[in-house]
Chain A
Amino acid sequence: MKLDWEYYWDEVKKRKFFIFGFFLVVLLPTMDTWIFLGPSVRTAQSVGIMPDSVTTSIIIQKAAILVIFAVSWDLLSGYSGQISFGHALFLGMGGYLAVMIREGLMIGDQEVFPGMEEQLVDIGGIYFDLSVIEAIILASALIAVFALVTGTIILRLKGPYFALVTLVLPLIAQILVTKIWGDFTGGDGGLQITSQLIQKPPGSTLEGLDLFKLQIEQMTTVILTFAIVCVAIMYLLARSRYGLVLKAIREDEQAASSSGINVSLYKVSVFVISSFFASVAGGLLAQVFGSSTSALFESERSFEIIIFSILGGIGTILGAIIGTFVLFFALSYYIKDGFVDLQTIEVLIFGLLLIIIIRYQPRGLINADPQLRNSLFFGVIFSFLMAFYDTGNMIIASTWNPAPILQKYLGQGERGFFGMDLFKVQGRMVLYFIVGTVIGYYGPELAQKIRLRLWGVWPSLGTFDPPK
């Protein structure tokens, strides 16, 4: 016999309401402006069991930029099959060049290039400096020209040889900007951004933290807009005839040219398009970081998005988007901004995930069997959901997400019971439940076993009939 909520839950799963859940994740940072939830969420944030809206906004900004970057990689490597291990080359070039174009270029006392004039515009209440965006686009266009030249040369190389060259190029670039061109790239410190993308609205009375929060939120909007536009362009390209031809080239170059396809023309063109969008991502990332440093060229940047895309499903665009957004978001919540100490195991977690996926779902989550796919999405989404109830002298919090409570203990060097706990913060009691773990995917048998012990753990796969 099924319980009522189980029918309801099946219904939700069937109708793919997980999209709704996904929006919840995106809306989470704006929740403290909600009238009803506001006070208790703010309380939860103040006692540290929920990331504050600034943290979450920055995570979203970075995730959105990485989505552009990952999709540009997927278009080149997933679609046309030219596997690049050094896409960060364009990320870094985009970052540096955009800043240089906007801020001007000085070598010693010699001004090589004066920089752009400030151009303040107000669109929908967001008051920003248009010249920064123009600089990013101009820089990306120049880098696309650079890609046209290099692509024509290196795309003659096949398979592993091409990959090898792409692996080396960002390393060379890194040495160039830190050691050799230090005079105008700022060496190890990088190029600082002095002109902010988001400006203070004229006549605004906001000050300090409030102004900062407003700017962060507006920045998120601008970056999300960029991400949506860029990804939409690349998605449409990939879904068109152009994308089909790229796939044909990936499958069999000789057969493609037998069909009359000008293989090298397509390869170079996709390299150029991909580099353009990767550079846009680089320009935006520099804005988020506040500077362009040689870290943009690091191979970690290149590998990160390859792993995201493989997890999501290579050669599908959608896989790159979902893989990047969900994974980066989840990892940032749990690792980067959850426990700083655990940052070093990020690579380990990536590696393990990669091995598991390549072993069991080599075509990525997007191509996984639908039940597994949906339950994984649900698992990640529910891991963000939290409930708070502020009784005045006690906060009752429940979540699927153990990160905050782990963070509390790791932060204080204590050990605790991770199912339910009572602790005191700023003179107030917090009662904290973890109502599930972020496994997200249980086989039917495992679900039965777990459900018998823990209240509220929904099996994501299969149904469970309690013994009559």
Chain B
Amino acid sequence: MSSRPTSVWRQITLLRVNDLSVHYGRAIALASVTLEIKSGEFIAVIGPNGAGKSTLLRAISGLVELERGTITYNDEILVETTNSRYRKIRKDRSLMPNEIVQRGVIHCPERRRLFPKLTLEENLMLGAYVYKEETEENYKRMEEVLRLFPALRERMHEEAGNFSGGQQQMIAIARSLMGRPKILMLDEPSMGLAPTIRIEIMEKIKEISQQGTTILLIEQDAMLALKAAERAYILEDGTIDREGRCSDLLNNEYILETYIGLT
């Protein structure tokens, strides 16, 4: 993990989501969402339940079929669907989920989703699945990741399911880091955790961001997310309601009222 990169590098658009729509059967989860993430940025996406936040991440990871839209990463198309009503061309230029992970677009899913019966070490190693050949490298990487979560080091051979919720979230993040993310997408890492643990986890995420990883964070806890991130998108009913710098959004009355509960 390198130190914080220069500002020139930060002008490069890393991930671009263009006109993205996702339908689940008849339900419309996302309708024409467009967003852009620059290299090294820390972006938050906040919104009420069912707004389509998780769907956005799943679409970027190639885990759901798009109705329409393009997702590009470093000017390479990750997922694209050009769709007319009568002629559906699906997955024509899209990558497979494993290929997307290989590019360094890593998704830390909602509800942690560890492999509960496997040991902590096995969980971490599976995070580095796409780097199959270099096991040496993987162990080195594990050392680096564990430096961030020293508490885990002693319990490497315990089943992941035995850890507490907060620890499991740490493991989930550690597992994602094993995939050497260029861009790390976290889906509600604070879900179901006590306030102090939430803050601890957010500190870790900030640390990861400072080491140069681009972060796309999804959060229910708007206050927490807006304080940590640089820029944020507000997602409501499957569309981007507004976007802006976090400092501005934290002064916005509408945001304070609906998401933070202050008037």
Query: Which residues from B are CB-within-8-Å of A261?
Result: 98, 126, 129
B115 near A252 with CB under 8 A, answer yes
A239 to chain B, nearest CB (A): 12
Name the CB-closest residue of A to B123: A248
Are A247 and B118 also in contact (CB < 8 A) when A256-B126, A260-B130 are?
Answer: yes
A241 near B97 with CB under 8 A, answer no
B129 near A258 with CB under 8 A, answer no
Which segment of B7-15, B101-109, B191-199 sits at the interface?
Answer: B101-109
Query: Which residues from A are CB-within-8-Å of B116?
Result: 251-252
Q: Contacting B98 at CB < 8 Å: which of A241, A248, A257?
A: A257
Rounded to whole angstroms, the CA-CA distance of A255 and B63 in the bound complex is 11
Are A259 and B63 also in contact (CB < 8 A) when A244-B122, A251-B116 are?
Answer: no
Name the CB-closest residue of B to A241: B132
Name the CB-closest residue of A to B100: A260
The digit string for A242-277, where 1 denotes a CB below 8 A from any CB of B, is: 001101100110111111111000000000000000
The A interface, classified by DSSP as helix, strand, loop or mixed, is helix
The digit string for B119-130, where 1 denotes a CB below 8 A from any CB of A, is: 000100111011
A408 to chain B, nearest CB (A): 48
A247 near B115 with CB under 8 A, answer yes
Are A255 and B109 also in contact (CB < 8 A) when A244-B126, A262-B96 are?
Answer: yes
A251 near B63 with CB under 8 A, answer no
Q: Report if B93 contacts A (CB, 8 A).
A: no
Q: Report if B231 contacts A (CB, 8 A).
A: no
Q: Report if B16 contacts A (CB, 8 A).
A: no
B109 to chain A, nearest CB (A): 5
A259 near B114 with CB under 8 A, answer no
B126 near A248 with CB under 8 A, answer yes
Query: Which residues from B are CB-within-8-Å of A257?
Result: 63, 97-98
Query: Which residues from B are CB-within-8-Å of A252?
Result: 113-116
Rounded to whole angstroms, the CA-CA distance of A259 and B172 in the bound complex is 11
Rounded to whole angstroms, the CA-CA distance of A427 and B132 in the bound complex is 72
Q: Report if B166 contacts A (CB, 8 A).
A: no
Q: Report if B70 contacts A (CB, 8 A).
A: no
A240 to chain B, nearest CB (A): 11
B109 near A244 with CB under 8 A, answer no
B95 to chain A, nearest CB (A): 11
A259 near B117 with CB under 8 A, answer no
A433 to chain B, nearest CB (A): 47
Most chain B C-beta atoms within 10 Å of own C-beta, residue among A248, A251, A260, A261: A260
Rounded to whole angstroms, the CA-CA distance of A260 and B106 in the bound complex is 9
Q: Contacting B129 at CB < 8 Å: which of A247, A254, A259?
A: A259
A152 to chain B, nearest CB (A): 16
Rounded to whole angstroms, the CA-CA distance of A258 and B64 in the bound complex is 12
Q: Contacting B179 at CB < 8 Å: which of A241, A248, A251, A259?
A: A259
Query: Which residues from A are CB-within-8-Å of B101?
Result: 258-260
Rounded to whole angstroms, the CA-CA distance of A245 and B132 in the bound complex is 11
Rounded to whole angstroms, the CA-CA distance of A255 and B109 in the bound complex is 7
Are A258 and B117 also in contact (CB < 8 A) when A244-B122, A245-B126, A245-B129 are?
Answer: no
B185 to chain A, nearest CB (A): 10
B114 near A260 with CB under 8 A, answer no
Query: Which residues from B are CB-within-8-Å of A244?
Result: 118, 122, 125-126
B118 near A251 with CB under 8 A, answer yes
B63 near A260 with CB under 8 A, answer no
Are A255 and B114 also in contact (CB < 8 A) when A244-B122, A245-B129 are?
Answer: yes
Rounded to whole angstroms, the CA-CA distance of A252 and B111 in the bound complex is 12
A260 near B115 with CB under 8 A, answer no
9 interchain pairs (CB within 8 A)?
A247-B117, A247-B122, A248-B118, A251-B117, A255-B115, A258-B113, A259-B179, A260-B100, A261-B98
Apart from the given pairs A252-B113, A257-B97, 4 other A-B contacts in the complex at a CB distance below 8 Å:
A244-B126, A255-B115, A260-B102, A261-B126
Name A residues whose Cβ lies closer than 8 Å to a Cβ of B.
241, 244-245, 247-248, 251-252, 254-262
Name B residues whose Cβ lies closer than 8 Å to a Cβ of A.
61, 63, 96-98, 100-102, 106-109, 113-118, 122, 125-127, 129-130, 132, 175, 179
**Which 4 A-B pairs have CB atoms at the shortest separation, nearest pair first?**
A260-B101, A251-B115, A255-B113, A260-B130
